[in-house]
Amino acid sequence: MGKEIMGELFKEPGQEELILKPIQVEILNQVRDAFRQSKKVILQAATSAGKTAIAAKIIQRVVKKEKRVLFIADRIVLVNQTSDEFSRWGIRHGIIMGNHPEYYPDRQVQIASAATLANRDIDKFDMIIQDEAHCFHKGVTKAFDSNPDSFILGMTASPYSKGLGKIFDFHIQPFTVRNLIDRGLLCDYDAYGHNDIDLTGVRTAAGEYRQDDLGKAVDKPTLTADIVKTYLKIAGGKKAICFATNVAHGRALQKAFTKSNVSAKEINAYLPNEGPESASFIIDEFRQDKFKVLISVAIIIKGFSVSNVEVVILATATKSMIKLTQAIGRGLRLHPGKEKAIILDHGSNLSRLGFPEEYEFLELDDGKHGESKNKKKERPEQLPKACPSCEYLKPPGVQKCAACGFKPEFIQDVEIEDGELEKIKRKAKKAFTLAEKQSFISQLNQYAFEKGFKSGKGGCYGWSIHKYSDKFGGDPPSRIKWDLKEPVSADVRNFITHCNIRWAKSKQK
pLDDT tens-digit series, residues 147-179: 999 999 999 887 878 888 888 988 888 887 777
Measured distance CA(445)–CA(462) in Å, rounded? 9
- Quickly state the pLDDT bin for 123 (edges 50, 70, 90): very high
pLDDT exceeds 50 at position 236: yes
For residue 94, which phi and psi values (nearest 5 degrees)? -110, 165
pLDDT tens-digit series, residues 30-58: 999 999 989 999 998 876 678 899 999 99
Q: What is the pLDDT of residue 2?
A: 41
Those residues whose C-beta lies under 8 Å from the C-beta of residue 64, and which sit 6 or more positions away, are none
pLDDT exceeds 90 at position 97: yes
pLDDT exceeds 80 at position 484: yes
- Quickly state the pLDDT bin for 140 (edges 50, 70, 90): very high
Contact 43, 51 (CB under 8 A): yes
What's the length of the chain?
A: 509
Measured distance CA(21)–CA(402) in Å, rounded? 56
Nearest residue to 7 (alpha-carbon basis) of 51, 54, 60: 60
- Quickly state the pLDDT bin for 11 (edges 50, 70, 90): very low
Higher-pLDDT residue of 60 and 81 is 60
Q: What is the mean predicted confidence (pLDDT) over 302-325?
A: 83
Q: Say what the pTM is.
A: 0.62
Whole-number Cα distances in Å, 151 to 62, 81, 161, 169: 11, 23, 21, 12
Q: What is the pLDDT of residue 107?
A: 96
pLDDT exceeds 70 at position 309: yes
pLDDT exceeds 90 at position 370: no
Which domains are present in the chain?
7-175 (3.40.50.300), 180-363+414-423 (3.40.50.300), 434-508 (no CATH)
Contact 34, 172 (CB under 8 A): yes
Measured distance CA(180)–CA(265) in Å, rounded? 32
Q: What is the mean predicted confidence (pLDDT) over 367-388?
A: 51
Looking at mean pLDDT, say which of 1-5, 29-33, 213-217 comes out highest. Answer: 29-33
Provide, for the chain, the percentages of residues in helix, strand and coil under a 3-state DSSP scheme, each rounded to the nearest 5. 35, 15, 50
Contact 128, 153 (CB under 8 A): yes
Contact 316, 213 (CB under 8 A): no
Q: What is the CA radius of gyration of the chain?
A: 26
